[in-house]
């Protein structure tokens, strides 16, 4: 009787964990989204495909992960693959002081809900782009970002501030260009 219970418990435990087939299904169902994540990180089609494939392979052969965490685990493997490929790091010489970054804080409240142009995100420096994608788009904590990127929390905070400031400036430029275009169109009517 004890053996039957143990085998039943083993079967239930095994059903809790994602299998290779689960990861294959996740990558097939969300191929566009996972590839876009990879492309946003690498900014290069070939590297994005390589990181996508490596992310799938790492997911399939990784340690056991709960089935409900499998999609997050797949994204994490793509991010780790892109980090290994590009090795982004903070530029300490150009680091903002907290005084320099402070003026943007008020303007950027609610930025997590804003939409940014893909081209503008791709124009960010590697480290800023990684921090932006991980912390703003994928909602990784600063702690997770520091662990994965091998940097300090301050590096993450400053990079995110620079990225958001650059994206906000680029959004203003696009908006003002559109406004100017509309004004010229109205004058020409």
Q: What is the pLDDT of residue 115?
A: 73
Q: What is the pLDDT of residue 102?
A: 34
Domain definitions of the chain by residue range: 2-86, 92-188
In sequence order, the 6+-apart residues with CB closer than 8 A to the CB of 54 are 77, 78, 81
Q: Which residue has the higher pLDDT, 106 or 183?
A: 183
53-69 pLDDT, tens digit per residue, is: 999 999 998 878 999 99
Alpha-carbon distances, residue 57 vs 20, 37, 38, 115, 175 (angstroms): 9, 16, 14, 31, 42
CATH class for the domain made up of 92-188: mainly alpha
20-32 pLDDT, tens digit per residue, is: 999 999 999 999 9
| Chain centroid to CA 157 | 15
67-95 pLDDT, tens digit per residue, is: 999 999 999 999 999 999 999 999 865 44
Percent of residues, the chain, with pLDDT higher than 90: 65
pLDDT band (50, 70, 90) for residue 124: very high
């Amino acid at each position: 009787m004890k053996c039957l219970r143990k085998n039943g418990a083993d079967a239930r435990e095994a059903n809790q964990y994602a299998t290779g087939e689960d990861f294959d299904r996740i990558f097939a169902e969300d191929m566009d989204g996972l590839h876009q994540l990879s492309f946003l990180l690498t900014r290069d089609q070939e590297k994005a495909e390589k990181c996508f494939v490596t992310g799938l392979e790492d997911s399939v052969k990784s340690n056991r992960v709960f089935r409900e965490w499998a999609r997050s685990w797949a994204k994490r493997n793509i991010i780790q693959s892109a980090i290994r490929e590009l090795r982004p790091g903070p530029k300490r010489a150009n680091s903002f002081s907290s005084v320099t970054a402070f003026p943007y804080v008020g303007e950027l409240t609610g930025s997590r809900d804003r939409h940014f142009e893909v081209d503008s995100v791709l124009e960010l420096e590697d480290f800023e782009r990684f921090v932006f994608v991980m912390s703003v788009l994928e909602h990784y904590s600063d702690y997770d970002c520091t662990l994965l990127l091998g940097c300090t929390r301050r590096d993450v905070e400053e990079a995110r501030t620079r990225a958001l400031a650059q994206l906000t400036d680029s959004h203003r430029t696009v908006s003002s260009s559109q406004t100017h275009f509309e004004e010229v169109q109205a004058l020409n009517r």
